[in-house]
Amino acid sequence: MAFRKAVKGTLIGGGAIATAFGLSQFFEYRRNQARLAYVEAEGQMKMPFEDKLPTRQEQLATLQNTPEFDVLVVGGGATGAGCALDAVTRNLKTALVERSDFSSGTSSRSTKLIHGGVRYLQKAIMKLDYEQYMMVKEALHERANLLEIAPHLSAPLPIMLPVYKWWQLPYYWAGIKMYDLVAGSHCLKSSYVLSKSKALELFPMLKKDKLVGAIVYYDGQHNDSRMNLAIALAAARYGAAIANYTEVVRLLKMTDSATGKERVCGARCRDVTTGQEFDVRAKCVINATGPFTDSLRKMDNQETANICQPSAGVHIVIPGYYSPDNMGLLDPATSDGRVIFFLPWEKMTIAGTTDTPTDVTAHPIPMEEDINFILSEVRNYLSPDVEVRRGDVLAAWSGIRPLVTDPNSKDTQSICRNHVVSISNTGLVTIAGGKWTTYRSMAEETLDAAIKEHKLPAGPSRTMGLMLEGGKDWTPTLYIRLVQDYGLENEVAQHLAATYGGRAFEVAKMAQVTGKRWPIVGKRLHVLLIF
């Protein structure tokens, strides 16, 4: 009975979703083709700093000496950097300030996945939720774009979903196939079913008892912090003035002579390293500060209500022998209903994430109970031969997700990763919520709203298909040229190619001679350290 209900609910829900929204795939394709045609017709965009980037001091001088920018973005995470890149490639005079380092916050503390969200699609199907369906659809489209524009930092990753009850096999299979269907032409690789023996062959650490089989689907994996930096560097190359360790002290305001209303016209900034303060004036200020969204909104208006409900996500790093080198694992239903990913990463294994309400802090610390929760869930899926030990936790981090508050929600687990673009009475543009995968489309929507509100002279977004820093000249065999041309160790060459892409040769030129017959160059800072 449970089996028939599960399959029936899946098929009916899936059919309704496919029927109701299937045409949107075609219309989105036509819109994207038109947008790409526009970018192609415009030709190559001017890149003022293609060879050498301005130093931080030069960027600070530009921030201080420019009479007025079109756009000032506050926040150097993925969304803020994406807004800066979107703005500057629309020929808007753009500035960005970040009070710490680029990607030092939430954007570097993710699960390292570029994904649409399998669990959100499940909710969309079971509840016929159009909003969540569209969020998954948009994320899958952006996943394909991100894999294309930064191939050195991202790649498809197979993820296994082990099945321990017979009735779950068709249920999960139908859901994962729907995931492929929604991705459409952007599907990375088709999902497939594995027998018990084949599942254990590919993931030998898996618990054998009661294992029925497994389903494998594909999502993207990326180096989140480097990806964030690549977006920021691309913005700088196209002419945006960006500076880290530059915090906003207060917002600047002026009275609009035409309407008599008070409007935000820039920000008072402080160089964190020197304490020097200066004004950055702009026609439009964009608040892209993630978990600190409400702090900046209250600089604009102390009486404004909070729109973010922060949630802590904890991940742990354990030795690589806990998982295969090229296969992830998804636990779709943990003991308390949360989802746990178990993924290979940099020859180690990442396990996470938790999802619990938290207070906003600059440096969140992972709680011991969250670490033990992850270990407990991991233990449930691994063979008894693999002793899951607290002492094997090599590192742990906590990231604060800036979830948009839903007044009808009882906990953060049920909050969707949708984003909100809001504009205050004084013209402050805020982008809140969302997820890593959709940073580009979020930035595009934010700039569209800002341009309309502030009547800025700009055309459509041009970031779709725009290569990020290092992506243009990268090839899968680039590391071989580094080995052959510079005499680098194979491992070091692979690391440089995967981190810097086409710019890896510039890094290799700075490597020290080892004084050995091999490797010729690439003296390590430490015998075990890959820099």
Stated pTM of the model: 0.89
Ramachandran area for residue 347 (φ above 0: left; ψ -120 to 50: alpha; else beta): left
Average pLDDT, the chain: 87
d(CA 523, CA 531): 10
Of the listed ranges 157-166, 193-202, 352-361, the least confidently predicted one is 352-361
d(CA 94, CA 87): 6
Report which of 460, 449, 447 is spatially closest to residue 240, judged by C-alpha positions: 447
| pLDDT surpasses 70 at 200 | yes
Q: What is the pLDDT of residues 459-508, one digit of tens each?
A: 999 999 999 999 998 999 999 999 999 999 999 999 999 999 999 999 99
Residue type at 440 in one-letter notation: R
Contacts of 206 (CB under 8 A, 6+ apart): 160, 162, 199, 200, 214, 329, 381, 382, 383
Strands (E), 272-380: 277-287, 308-319, 328-331, 340-345, 348-352, 356-357
d(CA 489, CA 483): 6
Q: What is the pLDDT of residues 299-317, one digit of tens each?
A: 999 999 888 888 889 999 9
Q: Rg of the chain over CA atoms, in angstroms?
A: 24
d(CA 315, CA 335): 17
Contacts of 372 (CB under 8 A, 6+ apart): 390
Residues in the chain, total: 531
pLDDT for res 341: 92
pLDDT range class, residue 99, cuts 50, 70, 90: very high
pLDDT for res 24: 46
CA distance to 183, 291, 326, per residue, from 22 (Å): 11, 35, 33
pLDDT for res 39: 47
d(CA 490, CA 56): 33
DSSP state of 25: H
Report which of 169, 154, 76 is spatially closest to residue 115, judged by C-alpha positions: 154
| pLDDT surpasses 60 at 42 | no
pLDDT for res 69: 98
| pLDDT surpasses 50 at 18 | no
Gap between the terminal Cα atoms of the chain? 57
Report which of 13, 342, 335 is spatially closest to residue 175, judged by C-alpha positions: 13
Q: What is the pLDDT of residues 403-420, one digit of tens each?
A: 887 444 455 544 545 889
- Count H helices, E strands: the chain? 14, 18
The structure tokens listed for 511 are 């490597």
> What crossing angle do the helices spanning 130-149 and 118-127 adopt, rounded to 10°?
160
**Mean pLDDT calculated for residue range 135-154:** 95
d(CA 328, CA 370): 21
d(CA 323, CA 342): 8
pLDDT for res 529: 53
Report which of 255, 281, 283 is spatially closest to residue 268, judged by C-alpha positions: 281
Helix residue spans in 261-336 (DSSP H): 293-300
Report which of 497, 338, 473, 310 is spatially closest to residue 413, judged by C-alpha positions: 338
Higher pLDDT, residue 117 or 413: 117
pLDDT for res 4: 42
Q: What is the pLDDT of residues 210-265, one digit of tens each?
A: 999 999 999 999 999 999 999 999 999 999 999 999 999 999 999 988 788 999 99
